């Protein structure tokens, strides 16, 4: 299973990675800034779709979206 951790305090990143690397069953490596941005964008999109499905946000019809292109 893969998980993504977001550590808001940059000072703690090295410590957390050191702790995780002690476990042989855990592979821990930081993401590149580019990959982190891609993942943030995907997460934002998924959250938006979920809000649309729950009726908390109004979606854009596909035809309107295509006409904008």
| Helix intervals (H) in 1-69 | 10-21, 33-53, 62-68
Number of domains in the chain: 1
Segments forming the whole domain that contains residue 14: 10-68
Within-domain flag for 36: yes
Q: Which two tokens stand for residue 35?
A: 């990959």
Within-domain flag for 3: no
Residue 59 scores a pLDDT above 90: no
Neighbours of 48 (CB within 10 A): 13
Within-domain flag for 34: yes
Per-chain mean pLDDT for the chain: 89
Within-domain flag for 2: no
Q: Using a cut of 0.75, tell me whether the model's pTM lies above it.
A: no
Within-domain flag for 57: yes
pLDDT of residue 25: 93
């Amino acid at each position: 299973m893969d998980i993504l951790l977001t550590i808001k305090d940059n000072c703690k990143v090295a410590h957390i990675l050191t702790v995780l690397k002690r476990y042989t069953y855990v592979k821990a490596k930081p993401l590149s800034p580019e990959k982190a941005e891609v993942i943030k964008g995907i997460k934002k999109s998924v959250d938006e779709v979920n809000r649309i499905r729950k009726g908390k946000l109004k979606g854009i019809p596909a035809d309107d979206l295509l006409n904008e292109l």
